[in-house]
Amino acid sequence: MSLLDRKLLRDLIALKSQALAVALVMACGLAMMVTTRSLILSLDSTRDAYYSEHRFTDIFARLKRAPHAVHEQLAAIPGVAAVQTGIAVQVTLDVPGLPEPAVGLINSLPERGEPVLNRPYVRAGRLPLGRTTRGEIAVGEAFAEAHGLKPGGSISAILNGTKQAFRLSGIVLSPEFVFEAPPGAALPDNKTYGVFWMPYKELATAFQLYGAFNNVAITLAPGASEGEVIAAVNRVLAPYGARGAYGRSNHPSHRRVDDEIRVLQGLSVAFPLVFLSVAAFMTNSVMSRQIALQREQIAMLKACGFSNRQVGAHYFKFSFAIVIVGVLFGAIGGIYLGHRLVEMYHLFFRFPQLDFVLDARVLVSASAVSALAAFAGVAGAVHRAVRLPPAEAMRPEAPASFRPALLERIGGGRWFSASFRMALRNIERRPIRSGLTCLALALATGILIVPNSFRDGIAYVIDFQWDIVQRQTVTLTLVEPGPARAIADFRHLPGVELAEPFRYVPIELRAGPISRRLTLQGLPERGTLSRVIDAEPRQLTLPARGIVISSKLADILQVRPGDEVIAKVLEGHERELAVPVVGLAEDFAGMAAYMELHALNRLLLEGDRISGAHLVVNASRWSDFLHAVKNTPRAAGCVIKNSIRDGFRKTTGESIGLLQKMYMMFAIIVAFGIIYNSARISLSERARELATLRVLGFSRGEVGAVLVGELVLLTVVALPLGLVIGSGFAQGILSSVNTETVRLPLVLTADNYAFAILVVAVASALSAWFAARKLADINLVSALKALD
Amino acid sequence: MPAAANLTFASSSRPDGANREPVFHVRGLARVYGEGTAAVTALRGVDFDFFRGELVVLLGASGSGKSTLLNQLGGLDSPTNGTLLYRGWNLGTADEPGLTQFRRDAVGFVFQAYNLIPSLTARENVALITEICRDPMTPEEALELVDLGPRLDHFPAQLSGGEQQRVAIARAIAKRPAVLLCDEPTGALDVHTGITVLEAIERINRDLGTLAVIITHNAILADMADRVFTLSDGRIVNARTNPQRGSVRDLAW
C-alpha cells in the first residue's frame, strides 16, 4: 500500500460516519434498482421457461359446445401449429372447513395420454389420467394451500346439479393459471376460488358434453399472424356459441403478470435516480469540505513533487471508496429485499419454482452510475484544489465575505437575533449549496409521502368497493342464465332479506381500432345493493338506453359520454350493436361496463333472464343460508363480500405492506443522512467560530442552536416543498401502477403529510443532536491559537 | 443548577484600592497533560495574586507555560493540582456549566487571530455578546471606546487587521468584565496598528478598572504593565513590579 493510500484509509476512518451516511443513501437507491430489476428478470425468465417447458398456448377460446369434429377444422387453419380442445366449467364447491361455498373452475384432462398443451406441473401426487379413472380430481396449488388440502384428501363439487365427492389425486400448477384468480381480479382470493383438473369423460358426462368441447387452446406456428388465426378461429367456432378467441395479451393470468412487470419497471428507474442524485450531492459536499480542509496538505504534496494527476486520483479514490461501500450495501440490501419480495410474489403468482435471479448487469450499470455520480460530485472540488499554485494553497483561505441577507436588506433585520442573522447570511452566501441541501431535504420529505399514499389509496379502495359500491352480503350466480322468476327462489332461501337480480354477459367493446373483452353487468336502474358509482362518489341511475363504462375503460377506448361504442355479445346469439356511452363509473380493478337490466335483456333478445342475484342475508340465519346454498344445484357460485374484503385486506397488507415498509426505511435513511451530513459539514466549517463562541461564554446549547439554526431554516423551507414533490411522486408512481387489472386512487391525507413532516423533523432533531454532541469535542483552546 | 451559576461574576463597582481581595488567588497551580511516560508537565506550581485594576504582562518563550496559565485563568481548562480561586470561588473544581457562566460574566478574551464571526458586522459581533450577559454596555459604546464608531456596520472581511482586533476588544469589554485576557493581541499586527490596539486595552484597564492580563513573547510590552511575570518551563522564574507604568506611546519599539 502506498503511503498516499494509507493516508486515504486513515482519512476515511476519520470521516467514517459521514462516509457511511453517503454510502447508505447510495445503497438505498442501488438496492431499489437491484431489487426491482432483478424481480423483473426473475419473473420474466421464470415465466418464459415455464411457458416453453409446459407449452403455454398463444390463442384461447371459450364456446358453448362444439362436436369433436370441429377440432380438425381448427387444426387445419393456416398458422396453427397445435390445438387442444377440452372442457372447462365453473362449479360450486363444498370445502371441508369452509362455511361458505367456493367456486371452482374444472378443466378436463384428455381421454388418452397427457395434455400436450398448457401442460400442468404436478407438485404432489399425480394427475387423474386414464379412461377408467373416476371420482378423482387434481387441485391447483394456491387453493390447496389456502385450505391445507393434500393428495388423498377429499372435496365435494356440484356438477350440473348433482353433488359429488372427489378424492384429491394431486396438487398441480398450470401455465394458464400462474395467477390463480377469477378473470379480472386484481388480487387472488385463494380461499373461495380454485382451479381443478379431472378426466374428460367423467366431466363431459356430468355436463352432457361427451363428444364435444367448450374450451380451445392453440399454439401458433412460427411466423403466423395472431390476428389472422383469431379471425379464422372465430369463423370456425361461430356456429357453436363462441365467445370470441383471444391472444395472450388478453389472457387474464398472463396479463396480470405483465402488469406486475410494468409496475416494477415504473419503480425501477425514477425513484432510484432520486436517491442516487441525492447521494451524488452528498458526496460532493463531503468531498468539497474534505478538500478544503486538506488545502495545505494538497499544497505540500504538490510542493514535494506529486503531480496534479496523482493528487486528483487520490481524492477520486476517496469518493470511489464511498461508492464501493454503497454498492456493497446496495447489493446486499437489494438481494435481501429481492428475496423477500419473491416470497411475496408466491402470494400472487404460482410457478413451479420462482427464484430470485440477480440481474448482475443492473448491478454493474447501477454501480457505474453511482461512480459517475460520485465522480461528477467531486470533479469540481478536485479541479479547484489541484489548480491552486502550492504557494497560494499553503496560505489559509481568505476570510469569507458576507453581506446582510435579502430579508434584512428589505427591512426585516431589526427583528432578527444574531444567530438567526448568521444563519440567513450563511445560507445566502452559498446559494447553490443551500438550495441543494433544501432540495435534498424536500426529496426526503417527498419520498415519505409515497408509501403512505399506497396505504391510504388501498383503504379508500376497500371503503369504496365494499361500502359504497357493493352493499350486499353475498352474491349468488346461476349455473347458466335463467328466467327472471329465479329471483323468487333466492328470496326464499333462509335469512334472505333483500334480493336484487343481475345479468352478466361477456362482451367485446370496441371503439375504432381499440377493443376490450369484459363482462357487461345488467343491473336494476337504481339498485340498492350493487350500485354504479362515479368519481364523486355519487350513485348513477342507469338509463333505459345506453351503457355506463368505467373511466379507465373510457380512457383505453378513448371515448367520452355521448360517443358510441360497438358492443359485441360473446355468448348465445352473437350480435353487434352500437350503444351510446351515457356515463362514467369509477372502479379500481379490471374494467366494468353497466346497463340497465331490462335494456340489456332487450339487446340480447333472450327475454327476461338473470345470471344471479345480490342478496342481503340476516346474520342470525347465516349458517342455514350457507347450508341451503351448498345444496342448491342451480347455484354455480357464491361470493361472500366480507371474505373477499378480508382476503383483499390480508393480501394487500402482506404485499403493499412490505413495499411500504421498504420505502419507509429508505426515506428515513435519506432524511437522516442528509441532515446529519449537513450538520457535520457545518460543524467542521465553523469549528473555529463555534469554539470562539464557547470561549466567549456561550453554553453548549446556545452554540448548538447557532450550528443547527441554518439547517432548521432550510428544513422549514424544505418541508412544504417536500409535500408538493411527494404528492408528485405519489401521482407518478400510482400512474405507473395504473394498469388495466389494478389501479390505486391518489389519496393524500393530512395524516400522511403530518407523518412525513414529523419523520423529517425527528430525523433532523436527532441528527442535529448527534452532530451537536460533537460540539463537546471542540477544543476551546484551539480558538486561541493563531491561524498560522 | 451549579453553585457557580448563582454567583455574580460581574466586576465589583467598589473603587480601586478599597478592596484588596484578589481577583485571582493562585497557589501551587500545576497542569499535566497525558499520563505515565507520555505525561507532559506544562505548569509546575505557580503562585500569585492578581488584583482589580492591575495590568499584568506574562512573558515567556513558546512552550514556557504562559498559554496554559491563561487557559486556566479563563476557565478553558482545569488544573491538575493546586488552588485557583476567582474572588474566593474555586475555579479549579468548577463544572462545565459553571465555567461557561464564569466566561460569560467575568472574562473578556482577546485572541491573536481576532476570531470574529465573519457573517456578523462589527456592531453585531459585539451585540452577540451583549445579548447574553447581565449588565453590558451598548455595542456602540463599546466600539466607541476602541475608536471604531464610524465602522459599525462593516463585516470583518471589510476591516483591516487592526480594526478587526479592536472589534474583538470591544466585544471583550462590552460585558464590563472583571478580567480581560489577551493572548498575543498584537502578534498579527504591524507596529503602528499594534500601538492602537494596546492603547485600547490600556484605556479599558484604566477607565473601567478591569484586571488586564496580556501574554506575549514581546518583552517590550513589559514596560506598560504594573507587574511583569516571566515564565519558563512551567515556572515563574522572575516577577517584578514596575515603579511607574509606561504609556504605550513611550514603549521602545
Q: How sure is the predictor about A683, in pLDDT bands with cuts at 50, 70 and 90?
A: confident
For residue A738, is pLDDT > 80?
A: no
The Cα A373–Cα A434 span in angstroms is 19
Q: How sure is the predictor about A733, in pLDDT bands with cuts at 50, 70 and 90?
A: confident
For residue A652, is pLDDT > 80?
A: no
pLDDT at A397: 61
The Cα A499–Cα A521 span in angstroms is 16
Classify residue A431 by burial, with Cβ atoms within 10 Å: 0-12, 13-18, 19+: exposed
Domains and CATH numbers, chain B: 3-250 (3.40.50.300)
pLDDT at B10: 44
A350 belongs to a structural domain: no
Same domain? A98 vs A127: yes
Same domain? A520 vs A613: yes
A756 belongs to a structural domain: yes
Number of domains in chain A: 3
Nearest CA-CA partner of A110 in A194, A195, A213:
A213
Same domain? A594 vs A659: no
Chain segment A560-569, per-residue pLDDT in tens: 999 999 998 8
For residue A417, the chain B residues in CB contact (below 8 A) are 131
Nearest CA-CA partner of A86 in A121, A58, A114:
A114
B111–A422 CB contact, under 8 Å? no
If you search the block for the grid coordinates 460540539, which residue do you land on?
A775
SS (H, E, C) A106-156: EEEECCCCCCCCCCCEEEEECCCCCCCCCCEEEEEHHHHHHHCCCCCCEEE
Same domain? A509 vs A547: yes
Query: Could you tell me what percent of chain A has a pLDDT over 90?
Result: 34
Global pTM? Answer: 0.75
pLDDT at A635: 72
Chain B nearest-CA distance from A779, in A, is: 9
A281 belongs to a structural domain: no
The Cα B67–Cα A775 span in angstroms is 22
The Cα B202–Cα B205 span in angstroms is 5
Supply the DSSP symbol for A466. I
Q: DSSP readout, A209-273?
A: -TTEEEEEEEEEPTT--HHHHHHHHHHHHGGGT----EEGGG-HHHHHHHHHHHHHHHHHHHHHH
Asked if the peptide bond before residue A537 counts as cis, ω within 30 degrees of 0, the response is: yes
pLDDT at A396: 57
Same domain? A542 vs A679: no
Same domain? A484 vs A507: yes
A697 belongs to a structural domain: yes
Nearest CA-CA partner of A197 in A330, A86, A339, A116:
A86
Same domain? A106 vs A230: yes
Same domain? A668 vs A705: yes
| Residue A59: all three cell numbers together | 390463442
* Beta-carbon count within 10 A of A265 CB: 13
For residue A227, give its domain range: 54-255
Last residue of a domain, one of A592, A617, A644: A644
CB distance from A75 to chain B under 8 Å? no
B113–A697 CB contact, under 8 Å? no
Last residue of a domain, one of A194, A220, A255: A255
If you search the block for the grid coordinates 469540481, which residue do you land on?
A380
If you search the block for the grid coordinates 431589526, which residue do you land on?
A414
Name the pairing type of β-strands A136-140 and A162-173.
Answer: parallel
The Cα A456–Cα A220 span in angstroms is 44
The Cα B156–Cα B111 span in angstroms is 15
A243 belongs to a structural domain: yes
Chain A nearest-CA distance from B129, in A, is: 7
Q: What DSSP element (H or E) covers A614?
A: strand A609-617
CA distances in angstroms from A290 to A18, A377, B144, listed in the order given = 11, 13, 41
Q: How sure is the predictor about A83, in pLDDT bands with cuts at 50, 70 and 90?
A: very high
Chain B nearest-CA distance from A393, in A, is: 19
Classify residue A409 by burial, with Cβ atoms within 10 Å: 0-12, 13-18, 19+: exposed
3-state secondary structure of A165: strand
* Beta-carbon count within 10 A of A297 CB: 16
Nearest CA-CA partner of A598 in A589, A586, A606, A588:
A606
CB distance from B70 to chain A under 8 Å? yes
Same domain? A228 vs A122: yes
Measured distance between the N- and C-terminal CA atoms of chain B, rounded to whole angstroms: 49
Chain segment A452-465, per-residue pLDDT in tens: 888 888 889 888 88
Residue of chain A with shortest Cα separation from B160: A399
Cβ proximity of A712 and A748 under 8 Å:
no
Residue of chain A with shortest Cα separation from B154: A403
Measured distance between the N- and C-terminal CA atoms of chain A, rounded to whole angstroms: 32
A19 belongs to a structural domain: no
What average pLDDT does this structure show over A732-753?
Answer: 83
CB distance from B127 to chain A under 8 Å? yes
Mutual angle of helices A641-685 and A431-463, in 10-degree steps? 170
pLDDT at A217: 96
pLDDT at A78: 95
Chain B residues 1-60 with CB within 8 Å of chain A: none
**ipTM of this complex:** 0.74
For residue A388, is pLDDT > 80?
A: no
A700–B103 CB contact, under 8 Å? no
A386 belongs to a structural domain: no
User: Among positive and negative, which fits the CA dihedral A320, A324, A330, A331?
Assistant: positive
A92: Cβ–Cβ under 8 A, 6 or more apart, which residues?
A: A101, A102, A103, A104, A157, A158, A629, A630, A635, A636, A637, A638
Q: How sure is the predictor about A748, in pLDDT bands with cuts at 50, 70 and 90?
A: very high
| Residue A411: all three cell numbers together | 427591512
Same domain? A527 vs A452: no
Residue of chain A with shortest Cα separation from B132: A698
What average pLDDT does this structure show over A623-637?
Answer: 79
The Cα B204–Cα B169 span in angstroms is 9
Same domain? A211 vs A193: yes
| Interface size between A and B, measured as CB pairs under 8 A | 99
Chain segment A261-299, per-residue pLDDT in tens: 888 887 888 778 888 888 888 888 888 888 877 877 777
For residue A576, is pLDDT > 50?
A: yes
Mutual angle of helices B161-173 and B191-208, in 10-degree steps? 10
Interface test with A, best of B9, B33, B112, B115 (most A CBs within 10 A): B115
For residue A375, is pLDDT > 90?
A: no
For residue A406, is pLDDT > 80?
A: no
The Cα A447–Cα A427 span in angstroms is 24
The Cα A120–Cα A107 span in angstroms is 11
For residue B169, the chain A residues in CB contact (below 8 A) are none
What average pLDDT does this structure show over A26-48?
Answer: 91
Mean pLDDT of chain A: 85
Cβ proximity of A342 and A46 under 8 Å:
no
Last residue of a domain, one of A608, A626, A644: A644
A421–B183 CB contact, under 8 Å? no
Cβ proximity of B110 and B169 under 8 Å:
yes
Cβ proximity of B8 and B134 under 8 Å:
yes
pLDDT at A399: 61
Counting as low any pLDDT under 50, the low residues of chain B are 1-8, 10-18
Q: Specify the higher pLDDT residue, A461 or A413.
A: A461
What average pLDDT does this structure show over A156-167?
Answer: 86
pLDDT at B90: 94
Same domain? A585 vs A700: no
A143 belongs to a structural domain: yes
pLDDT at A61: 93
